[in-house]
Amino acid sequence: CNECPYMRLNTLEKLYWAMKHQTPEINLRQEISLAALKPMQRMLAMS
């Protein structure tokens, strides 16, 4: 995805700032977050 123009907008400085200030906050309904948990766990297991 390094060819994606939106990915090019991300920088280490922006990532640092977002992590430091915990922003933007993302709120999901519980059923959506539970549905996303399985693929996230699979992805982490592969790494």
**Tens digits of per-residue pLDDT, 18-31?**
999 999 999 999 99
User: For residue 36, what are the domain limits?
Assistant: 7-46
Residue 4 has what pLDDT? 82
Q: What is the percent of the chain with per-residue pLDDT over 70, rounded to a whole number?
A: 96
Residue 34 token pair: 């539970």
In a domain, 2, yes or no: no
Look up residue 15 and give its DSSP letter.
H
Q: Is 1 a domain residue?
A: no
Domain count, the chain: 1
* pTM, rounded to two decimals: 0.50
Measure Cα distances from 5 to 2, 22, 23, 29 in Å.
8, 24, 22, 29
**With 70 as the cut, is the pLDDT of residue 43 above it?**
yes
